[in-house]
Amino acid sequence: MIDIVPAILVKTRAELDLKVRVVEPFVDRIQIDVIDGRFAQNWTVQPEDLQGFETGLMKEAHLMVNDNEGYAKKFIELGFDMIIVHCESCKDIQKMIKTVKGRGRKMALAFNPQTPVSAVEAYLDDLDMVVAMTVNPGFTGQKFDASVMPKVRELRRMKKDLDIEVDGGMKVGTIKIAAEAGANIFVVGSSIYGFDDKKKAIESLKEDALSAIM
């Protein structure tokens, strides 16, 4: 299944509410980027900012943090559907999988551009999704790193039914490249929010992905 996921990287609740509202009619899920200023050099909305946040969309929490366990528990309590942690900062991945899935949530592992696929390989049977980063975490608007695509191909060979999400530099053109490599979920920031017509932007991105598999 092809899916376009708006990436929401903001510092305030007001910004978050606005970004959700303008895409809500056109997508099935959103991803909220959570950065602690330690794992990556930025700071975004924190769990306490999201008290009372509601949407009918599936909610992914992309945790770019050092305290994965603490943050994961808070986002589970906030009702998030998918918890994404980075293999580079998660000290006990198997324990994290048990914690998240034991609470009935979906679990994903992300890896940075320089990280080998072997860092996530042992956990594939227990994961709902793997996130291949084609930029270093922290900021939107970075350039797509095509050197990550062989890793996406390798993941697809390893597990045919795995959801593979690509995050970073996603736009018309690069989404097709990622889809051809085997990805089926695409996290998009500026190529949605940089356009006035959000519906048309999302449709164009989905068409680009579908063109790779038709």
Name the residue ranges covered by the structural domains of the chain. Answer: 3-211
Closest C-alpha to 18, from 31, 8, 33: 8
Interval 130-175: pLDDT, tens: 999 999 887 777 789 999 999 999 999 999 999 999 999 999 999 9
Q: Please enumerate in sequence order all residues whose Cβ is within 8 A of that of 200, keeping only pairs 6 or more positions apart, or say none.
A: none
Amino acid 136: pLDDT = 86
| 3 state SS of 31 | strand
**Is residue 17 among the annotated active site residues?**
no
Amino acid 195: pLDDT = 96
Amino acid 200: pLDDT = 98
Amino acid 40: pLDDT = 83
DSSP E strands in the chain: the ranges are 3-8, 29-35, 58-64, 82-86, 106-111, 129-133, 163-167, 185-188
Q: Please enumerate in sequence order all residues whose Cβ is within 8 A of that of 164, keeping only pairs 6 or more positions apart, or say none.
A: 129, 130, 132, 152, 155, 156, 182, 183, 184, 185
Residues 28, 33, 36, 49: which is the catalytic one? 33
Residues 36, 128, 145, 167: which is the catalytic one? 167
**Is residue 33 among the annotated active site residues?**
yes
Low-confidence ranges of the chain (pLDDT < 70): none
* Cβ–Cβ under 8 Å, residues 199 and 26: yes
Would you say domain 3-211 falls under CATH 3.20.20.70? Answer: yes
pTM for the predicted model, two decimal places: 0.95
